[in-house]
Amino acid sequence: MTAMFKTPKVTQPATPKPARMPVETDPAVQQAAQRTRQAAMMRQGRLSTILTDQTRSVGSSGTKLGA
């Protein structure tokens, strides 16, 4: 019964190490981009002609396309 009135022992979780943000010249990023380009070139039909980077391109109205 005395355990009800004691303050619980709470341990703080260990702080995680900060994640390193990849840059464009990182080899892993370049390999992923190469795999994406290879997958796009293997597509058939109309999808094979769309090879632009949707996340970087800007539309004719000046708004950013993609995500």
DSSP per-residue letters across 2-67: GGGGSPP--PPPPPPPPPPPP-TT-HHHHHHHHHHHHHHHT--GGGGG--S-TTT-B-TTSPBP--
- Would you state the pLDDT for residue 59? 55
Prediction pTM value: 0.41
Read off the tokens for 20.
């390193």
Spell out the per-residue pLDDT of the chain, length 67, in tens. 677 788 888 888 899 999 888 888 889 889 998 998 888 778 777 665 665 555 555 555 556 555 4
CB 64 within 8 A of CB 58: yes
